Structure 1
Amino acid sequence: MNKTTRRKFLKNTALASVATAPVFAAEETKAKELFVHHVYFWLKNPSSEADKAKLLEGLDALTKVPQIKMAHIGLPASTNRSVIERSYAVSWLLFFDSLEQEEIYQTHPIHLKFVENYSHLWEKVIVYDSVGPKRG
């Protein structure tokens, strides 16, 4: 008969939970209809740090929209390969539970105020919306 110490039991339990965590996370993700909204901004005055700071201020305020599950404000990374686009000034990456939640965000007063107060700063905006593929 193998004698199990408390220490071995706790270690094995911890290892088992780490090993099964990805399986449970994958199942949880499948259950959700994750909607991703990624916006890229090109400023009218690309060399203006004041304009960039103002846009960042507006995006910070925009994170208060309750339908947003997660938000990330980004600046171009210093990576440099032929497939990398770095001409934008700021990116705005949002995650929603569904398309319906993103549509509520689009008409939310905070979002409408953001467009009204900050759209004069950008020259161009490109949006990439995506959903996960249906499997099985």
Structure 2
Amino acid sequence: MRKLGANIMAATHSGGVIALHGNLGTGKTTLVRGALEFLGVSKGVRSPTYALIEYYAFDSLSVAHFDLYRLAHAEELEYLGYRDYMNEQTLCFVEWPDRAQDCLGDVGLDIFIDYDAEGRQVKLSSKCEWGNRIIESVIF
């Protein structure tokens, strides 16, 4: 999952929203950790389960990592100021995006992660050019 995160970061040059779908322990945070390690963050990458948002500022592209598992109502995102992160200079990784309902706006890339006795299965899906370019870079 770390390698996939790094490959996504290598293919991304602008902000957007990446929705991470999967049960607890499937590797969502590990994927984000790999993306941040690609940018040079070597330690201190933690799941934002309690803070809900962790923000990492870089010169060219910042990263916001959302973990919405504990979100009781989608309206809580407004109080967190989530719209401040939704811009062309910030790549937003969102765990448990279904809890935000329609508040996230346009999701550029959906990543579905499943883990069972046979191993981990990952599916990438996009309905926009930005996400499709990332998928093409990661797969080919």
Same fold (TM over 0.5): no
Task: State which structure, 1 or 2, has the greater radius of gyration over its C-alpha atoms.
Answer: 1
TM-score scaled by structure 2? 0.28
Higher helix share: 1
TM-score when normalising by structure 1: 0.29
